[in-house]
Structure 1
Amino acid sequence: MTKLVIHKEDGTSYLADPVRARPWWRWLKRGLALLVLAPFALLLLYKLPFVHPVSTLMIKDLVTLKGYERQWVPLEDIAPVLVNSVMMSEDGQFCSHNGIDWNQLKLVLSSDGEPSRGASTIPMQTVKNLFLWNGRSYVRKALEFPLAQGASLILSKRRMMEIYLNIVEWGDGIYGVEAAAQHYFKRPASKLTARQAAYLAVTLPNPILRDASKPSRGMVRISRIVENRARQSGAYVGCVQ
């Protein structure tokens, strides 16, 4: 190991600790590498069915002492019609893509030049909720892409959907489908009707402003489309059956 000699102003000198003399940027590089790898390590942990992940918004609510409502439920305790409705509303190609719906992304980019909610898949929304922040930006989207593809490699489609439905925000301080079903309809997620499932699904683009129990005229119109698509979803939802 090379010794670094430090000369003092009084003419004396000493051998510096090579670890302490290491440039600060090396530590910065190591820190950044850890930040990059940490989500993938957590995703490996999240494969385990008894692990119940929380979102960055849930952590923020805890840190700010606001608190939140969330009760984890396994996918088999969620009404299948809710799963189908969310998939048809949020990501109709969920079962066939690798985390990114490239065809939809190309359509969105060609229409307005910026990747928006219209190109956001369930894996992208899941990793955003788990590791990133809200708000539209190129930086966040750039981070979402590799994380969504990594999550799709690590997690099964069924586990991905289970995590998403248990961490997604459905209102101010309301996270996960069980808390949403109890809050809006006073019933468990396993007992949701097709219409209630559709109302919950169409609130997801803006859960703070949309109320599933008091749907606007526009929400009613869209929910009927989602309800019909969920009824006819068939093979599109086979990966979570």
Structure 2
Amino acid sequence: MRALLRLIACLAAAGLALQLFFIGRIALMVAIDPQSTTFQRSEAWRIASAGRDNTTRGDARAWQQEWVPYERIADTLKRAVIASEDADFISHGGVEWEAIERARQRNAKAEEIAARRAAQARARGKEPAAPKIRGGSTITQQLAKNLLLSGERTLLRKGQELMLATTLEFLLDKRRILEIYLNNVEWGEGVFGAEAAAQHYFNKPAARLSANEAARLAVMLPSPKFFERRPGSPYVSGRAATIMARMPAAELP
């Protein structure tokens, strides 16, 4: 029993130390720009493990990222990302519980449909397709996950994400959260941040993105590697038009 109690105490102490570490990292971001995120480091390792060159990819750079301050990111991109990813960014406290519940219901329905289709596919001797899982994450939650957490899908990791999102909202203002997010979010294979994305896709700085260009970048965010290979697809054009129509209503911090 004593050994069990010691183990529980050690686990509790380790958990507390981890939370304090996360809080300290976030507190530093009030004044210090984060040089990398957990997700970026995992991507760098994946690219290196695949035997790819760290500096070149064909005639383009394999890793593109350049931090630019909030003022050097076009308002068009800020509005497009908010309109596409998190329309209530200004008003929520980091987590939208109703959106999470809606996503849970959609995913449960999608899994039921996928199960029926999988049975039909197996009956025909085909490989069943995986169900499409949708998230209800806010921009703040996405930032918390990319900054400090792994990409695994577990209840424990999701709980940690919610806690970190709340901490981000408590310690940083909305403007700083959006600035860090836009400078670190993935926009393609080894393409991170607004400046790298603007240069990679449109050969111009992030400060000069048009409304249409910004909307097209916003379309890519849920699946950047997928859309990097399909920049001119009808879906991208149609979704970009929808985002552009919503952009005037997107409130900026």
Superposition TM-score tier, normalisation by shorter sequence: 0.7 to 0.9
The structural deviation recorded for 1:137 is: 3.5
**Aligned equivalents of 2:8, 2:155: Cα separation in 1:** 26
User: Does the Cα contact within 8 Å between 1:127 and 1:144 map onto a contact in 2?
Assistant: yes
Give 1:58's aligned residue: 40
Equivalent of residue 123 in structure 1, options 140, 151, 161: 140
- Determine which structure has the larger strand proportion and give its number: 1
The structural deviation recorded for 1:125 is: 0.1
**Aligned equivalents of 1:95, 1:197: Cα separation in 2:** 19
Matches within 5 A, 1:1-241: 23=6, 26-48=9-31, 50-63=32-45, 66=48, 67=54, 68-113=63-108, 117-211=134-228, 214-230=231-247, 232-233=248-249, 236-238=250-252, 240=253
The structural deviation recorded for 1:152 is: 0.7
**Aligned equivalents of 2:101, 2:46: Cα separation in 1:** 39
CA 1:213 to 1:75, structure 2 compared with 1: closer, same or farther past 3 Å? farther
CA RMSD of aligned residues (A): 2.3
The structural deviation recorded for 1:36 is: 2.0
Residue by residue over 1:13-72, the C-alpha shift from the partner in whole angstroms, topping out at 9 and shown as x without a partner, is: xxxxxxxxx956544432222112211111100011x42342112222445673432100
**Aligned equivalents of 1:102, 1:26: Cα separation in 2:** 32
Of structures 1 and 2, the larger Rg is shown by 1
**Aligned equivalents of 1:29, 1:107: Cα separation in 2:** 33
**Aligned equivalents of 1:79, 1:26: Cα separation in 2:** 50
Provide the aligned length of Structure 1 versus Structure 2: 213
Query: Which residue identity lines up with residue 58 of structure 1 in the other structure?
Result: Q
- DSSP 3-state at the match of 1:195: helix
**Aligned equivalents of 2:104, 2:41: Cα separation in 1:** 32
TM-score w.r.t. length of structure 2: 0.77
**Aligned equivalents of 1:59, 1:185: Cα separation in 2:** 26
List alignment gaps of at least 5 residues for structure 1: 1-21
Query: Which residue identity lines up with residue 106 of structure 1 in the other structure?
Result: E
CA 1:79 to 1:100, structure 2 compared with 1: closer, same or farther past 3 Å? same
List alignment gaps of at least 5 residues for structure 2: 49-53, 55-62, 110-132
User: Does the Cα contact within 8 Å between 1:52 and 1:72 map onto a contact in 2?
Assistant: no
The structural deviation recorded for 1:216 is: 1.1
**Aligned equivalents of 1:147, 1:123: Cα separation in 2:** 9
CA 1:53 to 1:204, structure 2 compared with 1: closer, same or farther past 3 Å? same
Q: More displaced, 143-152 or 100-109?
A: 100-109
User: Does the Cα contact within 8 Å between 1:198 and 1:227 map onto a contact in 2?
Assistant: yes
CA 1:119 to 1:64, structure 2 compared with 1: closer, same or farther past 3 Å? closer
**Aligned equivalents of 2:102, 2:12: Cα separation in 1:** 37
TM-score w.r.t. length of structure 1: 0.80
User: Does the Cα contact within 8 Å between 1:53 and 1:130 map onto a contact in 2?
Assistant: no
- DSSP 3-state at the match of 1:98: coil
User: Does the Cα contact within 8 Å between 2:77 and 2:214 map onto a contact in 1?
Assistant: yes
Q: Could you tell me the percent identity over the aligned residues? A: 35
